[in-house]
């Protein structure tokens, strides 16, 4: 039995390593955040460039349970950073319809009051390497540089963790990345 486990481990290691390398190619910590302009589900136009000078928390989501959990966490971040130089933005990066996104948001355990954008052309999925790696959360500094990111495993990206990253940037420090 141990031999079978060892053989399977040896055979599966390249698959896992390739997956991590593929994902690592999307991580842009330390790079300028790609710009985009989209419309919120409520109709207003929102662009990343309009938030220069602020710390931006950007969540890229599809319609899924982990995305609902992380979208709810971003609501906590939004509420905790009210009155500070912070913008919280959620994006349905999967290209879902306004109707489907609205139904998804209405199922959240909390009311989402931060801008939640529609991305019918999946622009943000392409720019930020989403798609297979969802949810995806970025903290972008006042100069538009990605300082922190978490993909997929959101146990490591709860509201408290994100708020701490935001507070570090607001205080003029560098995120731990």
pLDDT in tens, 91-102: 999 999 999 999
Q: Does residue 23 sit within a domain?
A: no
* 19 confidence band (pLDDT: 50, 70, 90): very low
If one counts the domains in the chain, the total is 1
The residue that leads in pLDDT, 29 or 22, is 29
* 172 confidence band (pLDDT: 50, 70, 90): confident
* 175 confidence band (pLDDT: 50, 70, 90): low
Q: Does residue 117 sit within a domain?
A: yes
Mean pLDDT of 16-42: 71
Q: Does residue 11 sit within a domain?
A: no
Q: Does residue 58 sit within a domain?
A: yes
Q: Does residue 20 sit within a domain?
A: no
Residue 131: predicted pLDDT: 63
At CB < 8 A and 24+ separation, what contacts does 146-153 make? 146/28, 146/29, 146/30, 146/31, 146/32, 146/33, 147/29, 147/30, 147/174, 147/175, 147/177, 148/29, 148/175, 148/176, 148/177, 149/27, 149/28, 149/29, 151/23, 151/26, 151/27, 152/66
> Domain of 86: which CATH number?
3.40.30.10
Q: Does residue 66 sit within a domain?
A: yes
Q: Which residues span the domain enclosing 100?
A: 29-170
pTM of the predicted protein model: 0.82
């Amino acid at each position: 039995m141990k031999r079978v486990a060892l053989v399977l481990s040896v055979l599966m290691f390249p698959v896992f390593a390739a997956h991590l390398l593929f994902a690592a190619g999307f991580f842009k910590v330390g790079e300028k955040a790609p710009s985009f302009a989209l419309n919120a589900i409520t109709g207003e136009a929102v662009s990343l460039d309009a938030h220069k000078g602020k710390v931006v928390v950007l969540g890229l989501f599809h319609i899924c349970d982990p995305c609902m959990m992380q979208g709810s966490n971003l609501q906590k971040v939004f509420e905790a950073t009210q009155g500070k130089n912070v913008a919280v933005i959620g994006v349905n990066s999967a290209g879902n319809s306004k109707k489907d996104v609205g139904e998804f948001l209405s199922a959240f355990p909390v009311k989402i009051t931060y801008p939640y954008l529609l991305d019918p052309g999946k622009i943000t999925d392409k720019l930020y390497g989403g798609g297979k790696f969802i949810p995806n959360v970025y903290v972008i500094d006042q100069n538009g540089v990605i300082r922190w990111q978490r993909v997929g495993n959101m146990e490591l990206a709860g509201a408290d963790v994100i708020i701490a990253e935001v507070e570090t940037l607001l205080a003029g420090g560098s995120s731990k990345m």
